[in-house]
Structure 1
C-alpha cells in the first residue's frame, strides 16, 4: 500500500537520497528539478524506476503531492515555493524524512556558521575509533536519507545547515552541537540576524531532558538567545575563556579538558591534531559528544591527537621553494577567513574572492594588516575587497583564473611565507563549487 504521493524538489545528493528512501519505504515518488540533473543521478532514478523531470516544474503533479521534500538550496521566496505554500502542501526537509526511519538509532547533529564539517568529521573519527557502527552524513559525504536507505548505522553523525533545519517537524537529535553563529546566508533570512539565529536553534526544538545540547558559551549570539528562550535538553557548554566548575569543555594550563563526570578527558593542546584557536572549540565539542555516548576517555584522547584534517579545510598541499601552500577553499564567509588568518604564524599571501554575499570585510582588516603581505583577488567582481582592504596590505593583484592566482601569489611570496587560499566567498562565479575551486588550486600548485 502506498504511503502517499511524495514529490522531491531538487535532484542533488539530498534529493536523490530522499527519493531512494521514499521509494524503498512505499511512497509514490516523483522528482522535479528546475535545472539539469547530473547523469549519475538520472541513472540512479531510472534504475530504481523513479519518475523525474528536469529543466522545468510540472505544477499539476507538484501541487497534487501529499508531501514535498524540498532541497535546502531552494529559497522560500521562489515562485515555486509561493505556489506550494498557497496550496498548503506539507513541506519537509530530507533530514526530516530520514529521521522518520532512523528514530531508534542515536543521532548526533552538528550545526554552526563555521567549523561544521571539521567537527562532524572529528566526531565521526572518535566514534569509529571507539569501534561503534557510525555513519557520517548530511552536508558532508552521503545524504542522511541515502545512508538510511542503503547502509543503516547505529549512530548517525550529521552535519546540518540552517536551511535543512528550517523544514524539520519532528527531527530530534540525541546530541545537538551548536558551534557558533556569525552572519551568513542572511539573504535567505530577510537580512535579519535574529531569524538566522532562530533557525540554528531549531536543532534543539524537539529535544527533551534526556538529550544533550552542546554549545559555545563564548559566542554572544548563542548566549543572548539562551537568556531569553528555554532549552529543554541537558545543556553542556564549552569555552576557551575560563575553567569550568561544572560539566563542559575548557582550556586550562595549555590543556584541553572535557569533563562530563568525575573522570575528565585531558589532552595537551600541543598534542591535538587540529591547530588554531577555532579548532580548540571543534575539538572540545567533538570530545564532549563522545563522552555523552560513554566513549572511553582513552579513545577520545587518542582520536583528538590522530585525526587528519579534511580536504579543502586548512589542508596542507605542498611546500614549493620554501613557500607553504594551504587549501582552505571551504572558507565561504568572512568569519571562516578570520579563523584561518588567526591561526597563521607565518607571513601570508592570501588568495580570496568569488561571489560576494554582502560580506563585511572590515572584520578582518586588523588581521590583514598584521599578517598579510599581499592579496590576490580571484573573482568576477573584486571591487568590494579592494575598497575594504587595499590600504591594509602593500600588494593587491586582480586575477581571473586559479592558475593565474596561484602564480601571482607565488611571485609575491618569499621563503618561509604561506600562500593561503581562503576565499571568504561562494565559488559559483568561476567554479562548479568549493571542491572544484580547491582542486584547481592544488593543480595550480603542482604545476609550479
Structure 2
C-alpha cells in the first residue's frame, strides 16, 4: 500500500471530522460536497455572513453544520483535519490558530491525490465549441440513464482552476469536463492531470484568445499539452483542423470531420512553418494538404449531405450510416454534434439510437445562437461570441439562414484593439447593418468613415462612454440602446453579440414590447 493509500485509509476513518475553511467560495464549496459525497463527517466555516455566501444553494440536501462570520473555538476544537483555501497565506492568523489546536492540515492538492474520481472521466478542450460539445454530451449521457457530475454554480462556466478536477470527484456516474486555459505554458497540463481523465476531445485550435503580443503556435503548443496527456489513452479530435492533427502522434486517436464540398479558402500556419491552404468549412478547419506530409485524413466520423440551415446531416462511420436532424443550425454545431456522438459511442458505449434521439432533442446552450423573440417580422437572436473566429462563424452561419442581418456588437475582445478591429472587419463583410454598442466596437468603427457615411454602420450615443471589464464590453444601457437602433433596420434577423448581450438578456427581452 503506497503512502496515499495509507493517508486515505486514515482519512476515511468514520470517527474523523474534517473542517473546510472558506465554504462561501467555489473551492471550499466543492471540497465540502466531495467529502460529504463520500459519507465523511464535515464541518464548514467562513468569515462571511450568510447573505454574502453566494453559493450556499448548492449545499441544499447536504446536512452540514456551518460556522459563519468566524472560525470559532467550537469549530476548531472538533476537527481532526482542516482544509484551508489555496489562497490562504501560511503566515495568517488562522494558520497560527491551526498550529495551536494541533489540527492536521490537508491541502487541496493532497485532496486531489487522495480522493480519486472513481468514475469514467472525459475532458474537452479547444478554442471554440467546448461548451456546446460538453453540454450536448452530458445531455446524451442523461438520456441514456447516466448521471454526469455537475459543479452546480449558476452563471459560472467553471472550466479552469480547481473546478474541473473537483467536479470530477463529485457524485455521479460519469464526469464530462470542459477544460480551458489562461494561455500559459503548463497550466492546461496541470489541469488535465488533476482531472485524471480516461478520454479527451479537442474541438479546434484557432488564434481567438490571443493579443498581438502572443504567438499562435505557442498557444497551440499549450493545447498540445492536452493531446500529449492522452498519448496512451483514447483521444477524439477534429481532424479537419491541421493545427490539431499536426500535434497528434499517438495511434489511439478517433477523428471527426465534415464533407468538404461546401468550402471557402483560408490559410493557417503548419507545424513545418509553411502556410497551408485550407478549403474551409468553418474558420481554420477543412480539407488541407501540406508539402511536409500533413494531410487531412478520412474522418472516422464523417458528416455528409449537410444542410446547415436546417440542422440536417448524414453521419457515416465504418459501422453505420444514420440521418440526424438537429434543432441547432450551422456547420459549427455539426462539428460539435459529431464530436459528442463519437465520445458517447466510443467512450461511454451508449447505444446509437439513444445517442441520435438525444442529439435530435437537444435545445442548445443558452446564449449560443439563442432565439429571443420576433419583432415585426425580424428574428432577434443572442450569441455570447466575443472573439473573431467565433463571431465570424456565428454571423456566417446565420447569413445562410437569413437573407439579411443586423449585427449589434457589445464586445470587448480579449485580444484588445487588434481583436476589436478584426471582429468589426469580419461582421462588415457579412452583415447588412452593424451597430457598435460597446465602446471598444465603436472605437474600431470610427476608423470606417465610409461605412458610417453610407449608413451601414449605425453609431449610438452611449457607446462613446468608455466601459470594459474583461470581455464584458458594454453596460445594460449601451446594450439596450444598440438593440433599439438595430430594431429599426430593415433586415430579416438581428443578432446581438458578446458577453454583455448575454449578461443583459432580460433587458433585451423587454425590447420586444417597443412600439
8 Å Cα contact 2:165-2:195 kept in structure 1: no
Pick closer, same or farther for the CA change 1:247–1:113 going to 2, 3 Å: closer
Once the two structures are superposed, the pairs formed by residues 263-412 of structure 1 within 5 Å of their partners are 263-264=320-321, 266-268=322-324, 271-292=325-346, 293-328=348-383, 330-345=384-399, 346=402, 347-357=404-414, 358=416, 359-360=418-419, 363=422, 367-386=426-445, 391=450, 394-398=456-460, 399-400=462-463, 401=477, 402-411=479-488
Measure how far apart 1:440 and its partner are: 3.1
Measure how far apart 1:213 and its partner are: 1.0
Measure how far apart 1:223 and its partner are: 2.7
CA distance in 1 between partners of 2:58 and 2:357 (Å): 39
Normalising by structure 1, we get a TM-score of 0.73
Normalising by structure 2, we get a TM-score of 0.64
8 Å Cα contact 2:405-2:431 kept in structure 1: yes
1:157 alignment counterpart: 176
Higher relative contact order (CA 8 A, sep 6+): 1
- Residue 420 (str. 1) matches residue 433 (str. 2): no
For residues 105-134 of structure 1, the C-alpha deviation after alignment (integer angstroms, 9 at most, x for no partner) is: 111211111111111111111111122232
Pick closer, same or farther for the CA change 1:148–1:225 going to 2, 3 Å: closer
2:198 alignment counterpart: 174
Once the two structures are superposed, the pairs formed by residues 125-164 of structure 1 within 5 Å of their partners are 125-137=139-151, 140=157, 143-144=163-164, 147=167, 152-163=171-182
1:81 alignment counterpart: none
**3-state SS of 2:54 partner:** helix
Measure how far apart 1:236 and its partner are: 2.7
Q: 1:206 aligns with which of 229, 235, 245?
A: 229
CA RMSD of aligned residues (A): 4.3
Structure 1: which 5+ runs fail to align?
Answer: 70-90, 428-433
Pick closer, same or farther for the CA change 1:47–1:205 going to 2, 3 Å: farther
2:76 alignment counterpart: none
Once the two structures are superposed, the pairs formed by residues 47-66 of structure 1 within 5 Å of their partners are 47-49=65-67, 58=89, 60-61=91-92
Measure how far apart 1:284 and its partner are: 0.8
8 Å Cα contact 2:168-2:177 kept in structure 1: no
2:242 alignment counterpart: 220
8 Å Cα contact 1:20-1:48 kept in structure 2: no
Q: 1:437 aligns with which of 501, 504, 511?
A: 504
> Once structures 1 and 2 are overlaid, which stretch shifts more, 101-110 or 340-349?
101-110
Pick closer, same or farther for the CA change 1:102–1:384 going to 2, 3 Å: farther
8 Å Cα contact 1:278-1:339 kept in structure 2: yes
CA distance in 1 between partners of 2:440 and 2:253 (Å): 46
8 Å Cα contact 1:109-1:177 kept in structure 2: yes
Q: 1:234 aligns with which of 253, 275, 281?
A: 253
Structure 2: which 5+ runs fail to align?
Answer: 1-9, 13-17, 72-83, 97-103, 262-286, 288-295, 307-311, 464-476
Measure how far apart 1:404 and its partner are: 1.2
For residues 176-198 of structure 1, the C-alpha deviation after alignment (integer angstroms, 9 at most, x for no partner) is: 111111224436x9723233223
Larger radius of gyration: 2
Pick closer, same or farther for the CA change 1:336–1:225 going to 2, 3 Å: same
